Amino acid sequence: MTFYARNTSGFVSTSAQTIVTVTNGESIDKDNDQMPDVWEEAYGLNPEIADDSLDADGDGLNNLTEYQYLTHPNRNDTDGDLMPDGWEVNHALNPNTASDAHIDTDHDGVNNYQEFLDQTNPNDASSFVARVTLKGQVMTNITGLETGIYGASIFMEQHHINLYHTKTNQQGEFILNNVLSGAYTLHVSASSFSDFHQDIHISSNHDLDMGHIILFAQSNQEIWDLTGDHIMDLKDLIKGLQLITDMN
C-alpha cells in the first residue's frame, strides 16, 4: 500500500522522498524494538532507541511487556488497586482492572491484595498467612459461682516477645484480632490469682474461641481467705467483689 504526501500548497508529490509505506498494515517501528513509534512517543519513550527491555516505572514489567498488556509504562500500578502491574501479570491477574484486588482467586479466605501484602501466591489455596480472631472469657469461682474477672491481662507471646495484648471487659471477655499464623503461648494474669498459660498453634483462617478460662486464688492463701488474715468474714466477700469487678 502506497500513500502520497501532499504539501502545504496542495500539490501531490510522487517523489520517493515523500512516499510513506506501511508494510502488512503494521505501525512503523524505527528502532525495531517491537513497540510502535507512536506508542513510544505517547508515553515519553524514545522511538529512535531500542528501549524495550527497560523498566521505566520499576513495576517488574519491561516496556515491551507493558505495551503487550496495554499497561502504562510510567505507572507501576496502572489500575490503582495497590498491586504493582508486574506482580499482577506474574500471578495471572488483570493489571488493568482494580476490582480483582478484592477477589479471592484461590478460595483460601484471603483476597488478592492481602496475598500481595503477605507475598503469598494468590493462585495457590495452600499459600496464605492465616489471620484469626481469638476470644475467650476469664472467670473465677471464688464467690461460689463462675464470675468474669475485669481487667485481667491477656498476652500472646512468641519467642519470648509479647506480640498481642489486651485486657478483659466487665464480663471478663477478651478479643484479639488479626492474630497471624504461628505458635504462641497465651498468658492470662490478674491480681491475687495464679497465672494461666497455654500453648496455641494457628495454621488456618478459622477463629478460635478459648471458652472459659478459670483463674484460681494464689496458692499462698486459702481460696476463701482473700484478705490473708485467716478469718472468713465480710472483708473477704468485699475483697472478692473487688477482684472480679476491679472495684476500689
In a domain, 219, yes or no: yes
Q: What is the pLDDT of residues 53-69, one digit of tens each?
A: 999 999 999 999 999 99
Under 8 Å CB-to-CB from 134, ≥6 apart: which residues?
156, 175, 176, 179, 186, 200, 207, 208, 210
The tens digit of pLDDT for each residue in 80-95 reads: 999 999 999 999 999 9
CATH of the domain at 155: 2.60.40.10
Domain for residue 75, yes or no? no
pLDDT in tens, 32-55: 999 999 999 999 999 999 999 999
Model pLDDT for residues 135-165, shown as the tens digit of each residue: 999 998 776 667 889 999 999 999 989 999 9
Residue 38 lies in a domain: no
Is 93 part of a structural domain of the chain? no
Range of the domain at 235: 131-245
Q: For the chain, how many structural domains are there in total?
A: 1
Question: Has residue 157 been placed in a domain?
Answer: yes
Quick check: is 7 in a domain? no
* Residue 121 placed within a domain: no
User: Whole-number mean pLDDT of the chain?
Assistant: 83
